[in-house]
Amino acid sequence: MQRVLSGIQPSGQLTLGNYIGAMQNFVRLQDTYQCFFMIVDLHAITVPQEPEALREQTEAVASLFIAAGIDPAKAAVFVQSHVRSHVELSWLMTTMTYMGELERMTQFKDKSAGKDSIGAGLFAYPALMAADILIYNADLVPVGDDQKQHLELTRDLAGRFNSRFGDYFTTPEPYIPKVGARIMSLDDASKKMSKSNPNPGSYIALLDPPDVIRKKLSRAVTDSGREVKFNPAEKPEISNLMSIYSHCSGLSLEEIEARYEGQGYGGFKKDLAEQVVSVLEPLQARYNEIRQSGEIHRILADGADRASAIADKTVRDVKEKMGFLLPK
Ligand code: ATP
Ligand code: MG
């Protein structure tokens, strides 16, 4: 069975962007692939996190995975730091990664822009991400469009290792949705929606109460026209809202255009809010049940056991190939 690996950082409240760009595909893939879905806490600390918030968000993200429909009987759901081999392989990968490659990463440029002190971890992060993927010899990595560049580096590192030390790693393929791979911010359609954006009005959090969702969407920036038309180059704001509408309602972009022809933005935005609420309300109900039951800890322990069995063996094999003296 082919393998799938992906992760989400507990760096804030999960957004509709994370759901549409990544999590929905996790759920779709779990029936046909052996899946590993992690909460990547080691990635989250590449920018400063409050300890209590990090712990809470880690449990929240794990519970949202289950609430979104990931079945822990099928997929291993675990916390990255619980599987220690990730850090070990990450160091081995870091030594094979070139500074120039890391300097080209647009996420590093975006996240370090305007900051005085930039942690070395933020710079080296793509080598940890490569280790996360290669450690399971994943075939497919469901991610949003913003992670394409990191995945390209992972593929290069797999090839570099294989040509130096002999074939071992699988070269992973990205799995990116056709529509919704890059949901944009509600306050600025030139930036992607991000959970670590300091302005909560820029994103819909999966746990936002219905009234907050309605308010955020009614305030979402739009152009001064009144035509509900999908045209990302000229109407990026309304096109972004249409992608969200399409995902939540199951209607195609053409069907949405037809439905709102000649009606302006007001009614469209109101209906959009109801579509989003109709998807998130049941998800929130399941989330609350999972949090109350406390079962997430057992799910994470089981997931970490299943993941460690594979990850530990990979690190042993890799060290052997690289010439480490292994303990007898
Ligand atoms: P941060 O701002 O802390 O980086 P984030 O919202 O970018 O948070 P990540 O944990 O970095 O979330 O990414 C988790 C997954 O969600 C990745 O697969 C990423 O590609 C996807 N993703 C993130 N933002 C979006 C978006 N706006 N649209 C579609 N997919 C997204
Ligand atoms: Mg991100």
- Calculate how far, in angstroms, residue 318's C-alpha sits from the geometric centre of ligand 1: 30
**Can you give the residue ranges of every domain in the chain?**
3-176+294-322, 200-288
Per-residue model confidence (pLDDT) at position 177: 87
Per-residue model confidence (pLDDT) at position 180: 85
- Per residue in 261-273, pLDDT (tens digit) is 999 999 999 999 9
- Per residue in 195-233, pLDDT (tens digit) is 999 999 999 999 999 999 999 999 999 999 999 999 999
Instruction: Determine which residue's CA is closest to atom 1 belonging to ligand 1.
Output: 196
Strand ranges (DSSP E) for the chain? 3-8, 34-39, 76-79, 140-142, 173-175
Pocket probe for ligand 1: among 6, 14, 18, the residue whose CB has the most ligand atoms within 8 Å is 18
pLDDT-based confidence at residue 189 (cuts at 50, 70, 90): very high
Per-residue model confidence (pLDDT) at position 263: 94
- Per residue in 73-110, pLDDT (tens digit) is 999 999 999 999 999 999 999 999 999 999 999 999 99
Per-residue model confidence (pLDDT) at position 325: 98
Per-residue model confidence (pLDDT) at position 139: 98
Q: Which residues pair with 39 in a beta bridge?
A: 8, 79
Going from the C-alpha of 270 to that of each of 204, 217, 220, 281, the distances in angstroms are: 15, 8, 11, 16
Ligand 1 lined by 182 (C-beta under 6 Å) = yes
Q: Which ligand is nearest to the CA of 175?
A: 1
Which among 49, 70, 48 is positioned nearest to 61, based on CA atoms?
70
Q: Is 21 annotated as a binding residue?
A: no
Ligand 1 lined by 61 (C-beta under 6 Å) = no
Report the half-sphere exposure of 172 (CA within 13 A, side-chain side): 32
Q: What type of residue sits at position 50?
A: E
Per-residue model confidence (pLDDT) at position 52: 98
Mean pLDDT of the region 45-58: 97
Q: Which atom of ligand 1 is nearest to the CA of 146?
A: 20
Q: What percent of the chain has pLDDT over 90?
A: 98
Q: Are 135 and 168 spatial neighbours (Cβ–Cβ below 8 Å)?
A: no
Q: Rounded to the nearest 5°, which phi and psi values hold at 8? A: -135, 140
Per-residue model confidence (pLDDT) at position 15: 98
- Per residue in 161-185, pLDDT (tens digit) is 999 999 999 999 999 988 889 999 9
d(CA 26, CA 14): 15
Q: Rounded to the nearest 10 degrees, what angle do helices 85-94 and 296-322 cross at?
A: 40
Q: What is the DSSP letter of 323?
A: T
Mean pLDDT of the region 115-144: 96
Q: Which residues contact 302 (CB under 8 A, 6 or more apart)?
A: 72, 76
Superfamily of domain 3-176+294-322: HUPs (3.40.50.620)
CATH code of 200-288, in short, is 1.10.240.10
Mean pLDDT over each residue of the chain, to the nearest integer = 97
- Calculate how far, in angstroms, residue 281's C-alpha sits from the geometric centre of ligand 2: 25
Per-residue model confidence (pLDDT) at position 13: 94
* Residue 225 structure tokens: 């026209």
Ligand 1 lined by 54 (C-beta under 6 Å) = no
Q: How far apart are the first and last CA of the chain?
A: 32
Q: Which residues are catalytic?
A: 111, 192, 195
Ligand 1 lined by 57 (C-beta under 6 Å) = no
